Amino acid sequence: MSEAPTALDKDKARRSFGRAAALYDDNAALQHEVGRRMLERLDYIRIEPKVILDVGCGTGVATEALMKRYPKARVLALDFALPMLAFTRKRGRWLRRPLCIGGDLDFLPLIDQSVDLVFANAALQWSARPPQAFAEIARVLKPGGLMMFSSFGPDTLHELRAAWAEVDGGEHVHEFVDMHDYGDMLMAAGLADPVMDVERMTLTYADAMQLMHEVKIIGAGNASRSRTRGLVGRAHLERVCRAYERFRRPDGRLPASYEVVHGHAWGASQRQVDGETRVSLDVLRVNK
């Protein structure tokens, strides 16, 4: 298991999402839909959290939904892009707003065992050190607390990746962590009863330029340190668009595939005894 597919330029990602804040909600339909499906999964889990942490909260769409679902909970909203938090802090009612925190999911600015529910929708792919991010989540999660996340797997935007590969050998599409590696990271972090699954989602576009514009406008462009630098000329982009045409469907639309990785696990009381990890039975859950 590698720490990350590529070294992430966190400053580049932070700037991109900061610039995208004002237009994000109008263009991030997929991310909001994934978040909605994550919230639906909470219907099947009995938990009454007192403190919730929304990691990578963005503009606070899921933050507000969590506040409504758990009206007695204190909701913390964390994001590394401060312009996103400007929208999040307006969520809720004037008597009950989320506590907004400018911070990095790789270095959570919270004390140990202080959170009952960690919710991270489409955030972990922007971790520069995913194993450390999970270790941080495990650190702040209370024994028996729940962490739930979604991210994107390696098949995400495979059509766009293939089109670029026909044009040049550069790295133009963000690389994503495999579901099985995420599962290993959950275990290594000491989280209990990890459950992973994948669903496939497809968006369609009139042309490849529309897709690339949408990825850019929501701030989700490639932020790898090994990405191709500099401006890409119109002729170059036209070649990419022509290469993408081989994916055109009978209905005349171009598909963009997303491999959506879902996972959840529980905070566990653990101690090492004779080199063996022992987990308290009272924090284990039966998955149904």
For residue range 190-218, what is the model confidence (pLDDT) as tens digits?
999 999 999 999 999 999 999 999 999 99
pLDDT, one tens digit per residue, over 82-112 is 999 999 999 998 889 999 999 999 999 999 9
Burial class (CB in 10 A: 0-12, 13-18, 19+), 253: middle
Q: Give dist(CA 242, CA 248) in Å, integer.
A: 10
Q: 30 near 258, Cβ under 8 Å?
A: yes
Which residues on neighbouring strands pair with residue 100, listed in sequence order? 77
String of b and e for 29-58 (b: at least 16 CB within 10 Å)? ebbbebbeebbeebeeeeeebebbbbbbbb
Model confidence band, residue 274 (pLDDT cutoffs 50, 70, 90): very low
Q: 192 near 267, Cβ under 8 Å?
A: yes
CA dihedral of 154, 160, 161, 165, whole degrees rounded to 10: 170
Q: 144 near 113, Cβ under 8 Å?
A: no
Q: Give the domains, in start order, of the chain with CATH numbers.
A: 10-155+176-205+257-283 (3.40.50.150)
Model confidence band, residue 137 (pLDDT cutoffs 50, 70, 90): very high
Q: What is the pLDDT of residue 119?
A: 98
275: left (phi over 0), alpha (psi -120 to 50) or beta: left
Structure tokens at 279: 């987990």
Q: What is the mean pLDDT of residues 124-128?
A: 94
Burial class (CB in 10 A: 0-12, 13-18, 19+), 244: buried
- pLDDT reading at 275 higher than 60: no
- Residue 154 three-state SS: coil
Burial class (CB in 10 A: 0-12, 13-18, 19+), 185: buried
Burial class (CB in 10 A: 0-12, 13-18, 19+), 11: exposed
- First and final C-alpha spacing in the chain: 29
